[in-house]
């Protein structure tokens, strides 16, 4: 186990350096001068551009810029945005929104997805099963921005059940609608996985034994089937949490949620190297950590999986 853990940590370090450099290189090679573009339609005076390029060291070669960035990282400095704010404070202001949104969506996926999967799996081929299948297929095939705007117009504007946009109403009101829209996609996968798993478990020998013993149906499902079926779904849910934390740029835009996805999008749009690398690296670390945790959980749940 210790060997396994140290190997993973070594991998993490290599991936970290490689990825930060790659992202830095990509932002650097985007066409166009980010400083000249700062003024938008109203171009900046040449000497202002020169001054700012100098201030942000944009005239240095890429490797020097990168080394300076990495050097800053060790002192906890994630760099500065073009308007002079520190990237770390920007990220600190954005994470709470994204984490709240991701966890809300994740909760909805877990409760509804597992619930639907269980119902469908207990009566495979029945009317309920087929209805759920059709509904989830339709839901996943609608593009997320269509679903988002439609939900906003219907529930926010027409019915007025939820705020149209913004986080000023706080949790849960402000987050429920966007969370449901995002959850719809994971929901379909979770419920299909769960259904298949339940069908398999219901056919297994130990369930037949339990039935033969005369155990009430509710106890069989609640105590045994549910626990045994949920393992494969967990892996998917964990990876999905990583995606959700990556922020959903489109939904954050539609519902005006100042989250990490918007920050990343703005960073790319304005060619702000430090912002893009900072957010990108944070997301990669989240993924790496989650994948390690998933491996560990899996081996705990299923003793047949060994990591040595």
Partner 1 sequence: MRTLRFSIVAALTVAVTLSACSSGGSGEGDRSISVGVTDPTTLVPARQSVAFDFSAAVWSPLTFVRADGKIDYIQAESIESDDSVTWTVTLRDGWTFHDGTPVNAQSYIDSWNAAAYGPNAFENAGQLANIVGFDDLNPEKGKPSTTEMSGLQLVDDLTFKVELKDADSQFPLQVSQAQTAMFPMPESAMKDFDAYTKHPVGNGPFEMDGDYTENQPFTVTANNDYAGDDPTVDSITFKPYTDLSTAYTDVRAGNLDVASVPPNRLPQSEADFGDSLYTFEAPGISFLGLPLWDERYKDVKVRQAISMAIDRDSINDVIYGGQFVPADAFTPSIEPGTPDGLCGDYCKYDPKSAKKLLDEAGGFDGAMEIYYPGGGGDDDLYNAIANNLRQSLGIDVTARPSADWAEFLDNRTAEKVDGPFFSRWGALYPSQQATLRPLFVENGGCANCVPWYTDEVTAAIRKADKDDDGTGEAYADVQDLLLEDFPAPPLFFETYSYVTSDKIADLPTSPVGNPQLTKVKLTD
Nearer to partner 1, 45 or 125 (CB): 45
Q: How far is the CB of 214 from partner 1 (least distance, A)?
A: 56
Q: Which of 170, 172, 200, 307 binds partner 1 (CB under 8 A)?
A: 170
CA 17/CA 93 separation, integer angstroms: 25
149 vs 292 by CB, closer to partner 1: 149
Q: How many residues does the chain have?
A: 308
**Cα-atom radius of gyration of the chain, to the nearest Å?**
24
Pick one of 228, 235, 256, 291: the residue that binds partner 1 (CB under 8 A). 256
Q: Is the dihedral of CA 44, 50, 55, 57 positive or negative?
A: positive
> Are 191 and 133 spatial neighbours (Cβ–Cβ below 8 Å)?
no
The residue among 171 and 206 lying less far from partner 1, judged by its C-beta, is: 171
Residue 103 CB, nearest approach to partner 1 (Å): 17
Q: Is 141 in the site for partner 1 (CB under 8 A)?
A: no
Check binding of 161 to partner 1 (CB under 8 A).
no
d(CA 242, CA 288): 9
Which position among 51, 131, 134, 217 is part of the footprint of partner 1 (CB under 8 A)? 51
Secondary structure (3-state) at 86: strand
- Asked if residue 145 lies in contact with residue 185, where contact means CB atoms within 8 angstroms, the answer is no
| By CB under 8 A, residue 164 contacts partner 1 | yes
According to DSSP, residue 153 is labeled I
Question: Which of 99, 135 has the CB closer to partner 1?
Answer: 99
For residue 289, count other CB atoms closer than 10 A to its CB: 13
**Residue 43 found at the interface with partner 1 (CB under 8 A):** yes
Site residues for partner 1, 214-253, by CB under 8 A, read: 252-253
Question: According to CB under 8 A, which one of 254, 264, 276, 283 is a site residue for partner 1?
Answer: 254
Cβ 65 to partner 1 shortest distance, Å: 17
Residue 244: other Cβ atoms inside 10 A: 22
Among 55, 131, 217, 219, binds partner 1 (CB under 8 A): 55
List 12, 19, 26, 36, residue binding partner 1 (CB under 8 A)? 36
Q: Which of 27, 190, 271, 281 binds partner 1 (CB under 8 A)?
A: 271
Among 80, 98, 136, 152, binds partner 1 (CB under 8 A): 152
The torsion angles phi and psi of 25, rounded to 5 degrees, stand at -60, -45
Q: Is 46 exposed, middle or buried (0-12, 13-18, 19+ CB in 10 A)?
A: exposed
Q: Give the whole-angstrom CA distance, residue 70 versus residue 84.
A: 19
- Interacting residue with partner 1 among 157, 211, 289, 305 (CB under 8 A): 157
- Find residue 80's DSSP bridge partners: 86
Instruction: Closer to partner 1 by CB, 37 or 220: give it.
Output: 37
**Is the sign of the CA dihedral 183, 189, 191, 194 positive or negative?**
negative
Residues in contact with partner 1, counted by CB under 8 A, come to a total of 54
Among 76, 143, 160, 303, binds partner 1 (CB under 8 A): 160
Which 8-state DSSP code applies to residue 43?
P
143 vs 216, beta carbon nearer partner 1: 143
Instruction: Cite the DSSP H helix spans in the chain.
Output: 2-28, 34-37, 46-55, 62-74, 87-108, 114-122, 127-141, 144-151, 173-203, 205-213, 217-219, 226-245, 249-254, 260-269, 273-301
Q: Which spans of this chain sit near partner 1 (rule: CB under 8 A)?
A: 30-34, 36-45, 47-48, 51-52, 55, 83-86, 89-90, 92-96, 152-153, 156-157, 160, 163-168, 170, 252-256, 258, 262, 266, 269-271
């Amino acid at each position: 186990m210790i060997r396994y853990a140290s190997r993973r940590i070594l991998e993490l370090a290599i991936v970290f350096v490689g990825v930060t450099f790659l992202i830095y290189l990509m932002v650097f090679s985007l066409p166009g001068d980010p400083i000249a573009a700062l003024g938008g339609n109203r171009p900046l005076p040449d000497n202002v551009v020169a001054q700012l390029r100098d201030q942000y060291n944009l005239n240095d070669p890429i490797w020097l810029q990168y080394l300076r960035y990495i050097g800053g990282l060790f002192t906890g400095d994630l760099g500065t945005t073009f308007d002079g704010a520190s990237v770390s404070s920007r990220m600190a202001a954005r994470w709470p929104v994204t984490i709240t949104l991701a966890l809300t969506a994740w909760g909805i996926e877990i409760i509804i997805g597992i619930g639907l999967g269980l119902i469908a799996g207990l009566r495979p081929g029945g009317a309920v099963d087929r209805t759920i299948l059709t509904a989830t297929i339709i839901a996943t095939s609608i593009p997320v921005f269509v679903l988002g705007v439609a939900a906003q117009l219907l529930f926010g504007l027409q019915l007025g059940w939820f705020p149209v946009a913004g986080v000023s109403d706080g949790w849960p009101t402000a987050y429920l609608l966007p969370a449901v829209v995002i959850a719809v996609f994971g929901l379909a996968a979770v419920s299909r996985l769960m259904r298949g798993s339940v069908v398999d478990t219901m056919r297994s020998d130990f369930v037949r034994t339990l039935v033969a013993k005369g155990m009430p149906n509710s106890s069989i499902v609640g105590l045994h089937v549910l626990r045994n079926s949920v393992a494969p779904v967990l892996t998917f849910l964990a990876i999905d949490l990583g995606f959700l934390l990556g922020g959903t740029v489109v939904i954050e835009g539609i519902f005006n949620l100042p989250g990490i996805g918007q920050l990343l999008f703005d960073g790319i749009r304005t060619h702000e190297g430090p912002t893009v690398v900072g957010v990108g690296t944070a997301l990669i670390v989240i993924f790496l950590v989650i994948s390690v945790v998933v491996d560990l959980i899996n081996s705990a749940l299923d003793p047949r999986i060994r990591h040595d």
